[in-house]
Amino acid sequence: MWLLNIGSGNLPEISGLPCDSIEIPQQMALEENLIEAIYSENLNDMDFEQLAKDVILAPTNMKTLEINRSIIAKLHGEPRTFYSSDSIISENQNDQQNYPPEFLHDLTPSGMPLHALMLKKGVIVMLLRNLNPKQGLCNGTRLLITCLHENFISQKIVSECNRGCVVFLSRIE
């Protein structure tokens, strides 16, 4: 209920706190390892159905990246890094010189993945855009990575819509 109240903006204001701050109830604060508290000590032995039901919400993208890296490190197997293809589409040569790919690699606009995306078999990922709504591949769809290939990733949908369907997502240039 508390999370729903946050989302709808219905938490009471607390004197002494700035208006854009909230007080987190003690029962919501974890003192032990967050990942182990949510997913148990051994992520590798968990059923993917259970993994798909649990999520960790973080207040910032940086905290999300930190948590994701910790989870990936706990899973068996070697991680694989996929790199973005960044460029400026402009007829103006100054734009292309002012915004070289190296500069673009450091940007992570909202709704876009990192330039260097580290993945591993067994990781659950979330789509950040609508790819094929009829197949259930919409923004927010959660997928379990089953195999990493050079030019595509094999995944199983673990969200409600089309759960269990295997999909192959290729690189988008």
Per-residue pLDDT of the chain (173 residues; tens, 9 = 90+): 777 887 788 887 888 888 778 887 877 776 568 888 887 766 777 777 777 778 888 877 888 888 889 889 988 899 999 888 877 887 888 887 888 888 888 887 776 778 888 999 989 999 988 999 998 899 999 999 999 998 899 999 998 888 899 999 987 76
112, 128 in Cβ contact below 8 A?
yes
For residue 152, the model assigns a pLDDT of 93
Q: How far apart are CA 119 and CA 69, in angstroms?
A: 9
For residue 61, the model assigns a pLDDT of 80
DSSP reduced 3-state for 70: helix
> Tokens at residue 92, please?
């103006």
Structural element, H or E, at residue 105: helix 101-105
Please enumerate in sequence order all residues whose Cβ is within 8 A of that of 124, keeping only pairs 6 or more positions apart, or say none.
48, 51, 52, 142, 143, 144, 145, 158
For residue 13, the model assigns a pLDDT of 80
79, 119 in Cβ contact below 8 A?
yes
> Tokens at residue 36, please?
């182990």
DSSP reduced 3-state for 82: strand
Q: How far is CA 144 from CA 9, 131, 134, 150, in A?
A: 33, 16, 19, 17
For residue 154, the model assigns a pLDDT of 97
